[in-house]
């Protein structure tokens, strides 16, 4: 890797992945450039979609993206233990704990001790929380649809299949999971 090489004239968000892969391939021995490209691209595509959804749909309605995920899970799967909520919405128990402070303060959810186990926490939506998701989900799904229209139906299916296969392989990859 030549530390003095100047960047190309127009290094932009769009050209960076190609540039990075080419440069790493030239300068480093034994780089798996396909894997590098896959992870870089996956990261970027997701960031774009999430940023769009959060900034156009949820923040204007008073929810952050993580807040939406939790309310969404509670809306779909009904009252449940906090441990389950954390798992299905893909966050650590500690992160959920902090997030619940905001959601509870805003009157969207209610915390209650579980009857069968006084360590456990039972979460449920308030009327206001129910209303928040009702209002937001339509707009959310419309923007999801706009993104999905970039791909043919068969391509959408294939993308989902590939992502699921990638996730399923995490066991073989000995990937680390959240708490």
Partner DNA sequence: TCCGAATCATCAAACATTTGATCATTTGAG
Partner DNA sequence: CTCAAATGATCAAATGTTTGATGATTCGGA
- The interface with DNA within residues 84-123 (CB under 7 A) comprises 86, 91-103, 111, 114, 117-121
Whole-angstrom distance, CA of residue 81 vs CA of residue 123: 6
* Measured CA angle at 125 (ends 123, 127), to 5 deg: 150
DSSP-based three-state secondary structure for 154: helix
Q: Which partner, DNA, its own copies, none, binds residue 82 by CB below 5 to 8 Å per kind?
A: DNA
DSSP-based three-state secondary structure for 81: strand
Q: Considering only residues 49-88, where is the footprint of DNA by CB under 7 A?
A: 51, 54-55, 59, 64, 66-67, 81-83, 86
- Tokens, residue 55: 């900034």
Q: Whose Cβ is closer to DNA: residue 48's or residue 160's? A: 48
Q: Which partner, its own copies, DNA, none, binds residue 93 by CB below 5 to 8 Å per kind?
A: DNA
Whole-angstrom distance, CA of residue 114 vs CA of residue 122: 5
Residues that bind DNA (CB under 7 A): 51, 54-55, 59, 64, 66-67, 81-83, 86, 91-103, 111, 114, 117-121, 178-179
């Amino acid at each position: 890797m030549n530390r003095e090489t100047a960047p190309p004239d127009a290094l932009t968000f769009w050209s960076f992945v190609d540039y990075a892969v080419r440069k790493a391939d030239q300068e480093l021995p034994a780089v798996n450039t396909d894997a590098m490209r896959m992870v870089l691209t996956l990261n970027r595509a997701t960031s774009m979609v999430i940023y769009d959804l959060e900034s156009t749909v949820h923040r204007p309605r008073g929810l952050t993206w993580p807040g939406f995920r939790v309310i969404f899970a509670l809306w779909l799967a009904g009252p449940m233990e906090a441990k389950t909520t954390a798992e299905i919405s893909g966050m650590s128990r500690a992160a959920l704990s902090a997030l619940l402070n905001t959601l509870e303060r805003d009157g969207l959810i209610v915390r209650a001790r579980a009857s069968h186990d006084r360590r456990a926490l039972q979460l449920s939506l308030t009327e206001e929380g129910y209303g928040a998701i009702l209002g937001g989900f339509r707009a959310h799904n419309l923007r999801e649809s706009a993104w999905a229209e970039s791909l043919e139906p068969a391509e959408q299916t294939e993308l989902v299949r590939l992502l699921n296969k990638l996730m399923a392989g995490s066991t073989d990859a000995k990937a680390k999971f959240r708490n």
